[in-house]
Each structure stands twice: as C-alpha cells, then as structure tokens.
Amino acid sequence: MPAEQLTSVPADLAPSDGVTAPVGFALVGAGTIARVTADAISRLDGAELRLVVDRSAASAAALADEYGAQWSDDVPGYLSAPAAASVDVVVVSTPSGSHADLVVPALEAAKDVLVEKPLEITLDAAQRIIDAEVRTGRVVGVVSQHRFDRASERVVDAVRSGRLGRLTSAIASCAWWRSQAYYDSSGWRGTWALDGGGAAMNQGIHVIDLMLAVMGDPVEVFAHTSRLAHERIEVEDTAVATVRFASGALGAVHATTAAYPGVETSLRIFGDRGSAAIIDDELAYFHVRGDGDAERVMGPGPGPSTNQATDDDRLTRAELGLGPSHGHQLRDMVRVVRARRHGDPRAAPRVGTREGHQALALILAMYESASTGTKVRIPAAP
C-alpha cells in the first residue's frame, strides 16, 4: 500500500453540499506553484485546502501538514479515497504533459478543476479535456491569473468600451532568465514530452494569453525559435513571432529565458484613439483621447504630459508577488461552485477551456511555423 494519510474523514470535512459551506480544494502536485496556491487558498474566505496529492510522500505530507490538510502519494487512486469526498475543486499543478490524464478523471468524479497553464501540450489532449467537460457538465478553469490584475482589467475594459478606438497592434514580451540549473533540476524540464515547449509555452504563455484577452482571436502566425543559452534541453529558450488577428490588427511576440538577469514582462496595446502599457503587472502607461481633445498631427511618444496613469494605478504592497493574483482566480472558482450550488448550471470560470485552447493553439502554431519556415493558420477555439 502507498504511504498515505487517508484513513478517516473528520466531520468538518464532510462533502460540501450546503450553499454556504466552504469550498474544498485538493492540490494534485506539490511543487513550487502548488505552495503559492495553497497559501492563496488559506487567505481566501470560504475556501479550505483539504487534500494534497503528490507522488512524493514527503512533499505531499510537508505541504499538507503546513496547511492542516490530508495527503496522499497515491496519484492514480486519490479520487476514490475517503478524503476526496470533501473536495469540490481539484487544482492540477503537475508537468504540463500530464494534465489531461489528471483532469479528465477528476471531471468524471464530479469535481470541478482548475488546471495550471498550459491547458495541455497538444490540441488533441486539450480536446480530451474539453470533451470531458461537456460530457460531465463540470467546469475547468485554466490558470491565467494576470487576467485578474487591476491593470489588465482596466485595459480590457477600455478596449471593450471602444475608448482605445480601433486596435492596430500589440507587443507581448517576456524577457526572463532561467539558469542551466533550473532546467537540470527536474528530468521533465525542457522536454517536449512533459514541458511541451520552452520559453513560449512555459514562461511567455501568460503575457501571450493576456494579449489574446485584449486583442481577440489570432488567425495566423510566423515565428522563429532557437536554443541560444542553454544545454541539455530539447526546447527553445528564445522565440519571436508576428501574429495577425481576426480584426486585422497585428502583434509581435517575444519570449525568452535567456535574458540575464531577467528583465520584465510587458504588454503594449496600441489603438487609433489610445494606447496602454502594462509592465510587470502594473499599468505603466495609459492614454485615451477624449471626445473634445484635439487630435495630434504628430506624437512625440509617451511622456509625462500624455500619461494618464496615476499613482493609484501603481501596485500596492499587498499586490506584489504571485499569490494575490492567484487568489483572485481561486476566488472566481469559489464563485462558480457557489453559483452552481444555487442552481445556476451556466456559471463558468472567467478563464476556461476556450481561452486555454486559444493560447495553446497560438503557441503550437508558432512552433510549427518555426519548424517549417512558413506562415501557419491558427485553428479556432472550440
């Protein structure tokens, strides 16, 4: 028998049937990002971490004990264990290529799921998740926590209300650094089979996803990728691409883990009535032309006189780091569970499988383009 701590279920961990009962979470995978998630759950009203699952008994036990949860190292069998009855939402934070094999059984066990990005590493595997979601009537959220940042929400609102005018272009850049030791730390890192890609799939995907949230559906891409600063990995550490959107707007993507010592993540959005720049999750530049403003014949570039972002747009101390934005997305899952308890079967996560499929399809098309040296059409999200 595998080592586990699942011999009984305390009374306060009974199934969350009540409308106002806390939403029970399970973490599958007890790595670095799982610790961020566990901490965010602990700070969230109406949410409780009840189960941690990992192939490493030591890792599962350490994280579970820290947050007062139960644990198991029986990954294939945890859903049939007594403690799983108290779980409403399963959070999957394992290597990317294992997502479908873990998400689908959770859905079939009548659990909702929040899966770490990317949704999967192939469109076929992503479709398995989507099909299971439809078949079971459960929901899947995809971790895209920066869609919940104040800066992102302000820019998306300005775009949807038409205040930026017609969007013309966007630049998404993730200029990070990952040492060779990072890739050497786990056998799955930097592999096609489990990582599914490199700087674009695993680091750049967040700003790519945010670009899609603002710009809409991508339809075509041309890309180059290369491995320039690392050894013993199969995937790229640098990727660049040009993207054409359904609206006709154009975009540029830049993702690298070879930018020592790590610079910034940025998204710049340009329209014919306004522009915005988000740098490291903060609204660094924002300008919208008012109805009574005279149109500039020529613009000198963004300077203090044109920047409408204020000190109120700066990140507060409480908003710094990974946890706060994860907390917002977890709160969204709590909202969905409670709405469904109230009898609303249409309640769905703000970032679901359609959005996850869209980002994955763009990145896979980038890889295909880089491999073939041709422009690649991007399949529409289901």
**Whether the model pTM is above 0.85:** yes
Q: Which residues pair with 27 in a beta bridge?
A: 52, 91
* 23 inside domain: yes
Q: Which residues pair with 221 in a beta bridge?
A: 243, 376
CATH of the domain at 179: 3.30.360.10
Question: Are 40 and 58 within one domain?
Answer: yes
Question: Are 159 and 249 within one domain?
Answer: yes
Question: Are 194 and 212 within one domain?
Answer: yes
* 168 inside domain: yes
Residue 9 has pLDDT above 90, yes or no: no
| Residues 327-348 pLDDT 10s | 999 999 999 999 999 999 999 9
Question: Are 331 and 310 within one domain?
Answer: no
The per-residue pLDDT for 299 is: 67
Question: Are 306 and 234 within one domain?
Answer: yes
CATH of the domain at 91: 3.40.50.720
* 4 inside domain: no
* 319 inside domain: no
Q: What is the mean pLDDT of residues 308-319?
A: 91
Q: What is the mean pLDDT of residues 266-277?
A: 97
Q: Are 141 and 222 in contact (CB under 8 A)?
A: no
Which has the closest alpha carbon to 216: 255, 159, 139, 270?
159
Question: Are 68 and 207 within one domain?
Answer: no
Q: Are 165 and 274 in contact (CB under 8 A)?
A: yes
Which has the closest alpha carbon to 105: 135, 83, 82?
135
Q: What is the mean pLDDT of residues 309-321?
A: 89
**Which residues lie closer than 8 Å to 317 by C-beta, 6 or more apart?**
none
Q: Rounded distance, CA 197 to CA 260, Å?
A: 20
* 321 inside domain: no
Confidence of residue 107 (pLDDT cuts 50, 70, 90): very high
Query: Which residue segment(s) compose the domain that 29 sits in?
Result: 11-145+327-352
Residue 322 has pLDDT above 90, yes or no: no
Of 78-82, 290-294, 364-368, the poorest mean pLDDT is in: 290-294
Question: Are 174 and 310 within one domain?
Answer: yes
Q: What is the mean pLDDT of residues 301-329?
A: 84
| Residues 168-195 pLDDT 10s | 999 999 999 999 999 999 889 999 999 9
Find the helix or strand (DSSP H, E) in which 50 lies. Answer: strand 47-53
Q: How many other C-beta atoms lie within 10 A of the C-beta of residue 110?
A: 12
Instruction: Output phi, psi for 25, to 5 deg.
Output: -115, 145
Count of domains forming the chain: 2
Q: What is the mean pLDDT of residues 350-354?
A: 98
Residue 36 has pLDDT above 60, yes or no: yes
* 2 inside domain: no
The per-residue pLDDT for 192 is: 95
* 82 inside domain: yes
Residue 308 has pLDDT above 70, yes or no: yes
Q: Which residues pair with 140 in a beta bridge?
A: 113
Confidence of residue 297 (pLDDT cuts 50, 70, 90): low
Confidence of residue 14 (pLDDT cuts 50, 70, 90): very low
* 336 inside domain: yes
Question: Are 308 and 162 within one domain?
Answer: yes
Residue 7 has pLDDT above 90, yes or no: no
Which has the closest alpha carbon to 85: 6, 155, 14?
14
